[in-house]
Amino acid sequence: MTKAAEDLGKLAGAAGGRHYRSAEKIVGRLGVIAAKRRSASCLRFHVSEDENGVPALDRHFDEDVLNAEAAGDGWYALLTSLPAEEADPGQIPVHYKGQGAVERRYHDFKGPLAIAPVFVQHNRRVAALIQVICLALLVFCLIERQVKRAWAPSRP
């Protein structure tokens, strides 16, 4: 909002100047600023002209809209495929946050296994290479699981 206010202040100062002689140009620039700074929902403006036909810009942010948006900050919706009887509101984020395990495997796939680019010329070789890499990842995960189980009793 601060950057949007700065941009709007510059536009208000330039209204009626060389680049913004008409209300249409001012409104067009307002649209660009509102889209770029994502402030279109709370931006209120009025372009007026004085007796000489020089446009002037009056703008402000709607406090009610800002307060309503601030009240929703930090909330997000999750769509789940769990049946309604299993969809406990406290458990849905736990299932969602379990996605980290999958993401960690992608990290392992790209990281510790040190997979370098390999140029193959046939689709069969690509499929075979992916299969070998997935098997290596499976072995890596099984070893990691065994190590974690061995450490579990000694961990505080």
3-class DSSP state for residue 76?
coil
DSSP β-ladder status, 43-49 and 55-61: antiparallel
State the maximum Cα–Cα separation within the chain, in Å, rounded to a whole number: 84
Sign of CA dihedral 53, 54, 55, 56: negative
pLDDT tens-digit map of 57-108: 899 999 999 998 888 887 777 777 777 777 777 777 777 776 777 777 777 7
Three-class secondary structure assignment of 11-65: HHHHECCCCECCHHHHHHHHHHHHHHCCCCCCEEEEEEECCCCCEEEEEEECHHH
Q: What is the pLDDT of residue 6?
A: 92
Of 6 and 100, which is predicted with more confidence? 6
The sign of the torsion formed by the CA atoms of 147, 151, 153, 156 equals negative
| pTM higher than 0.85 | no
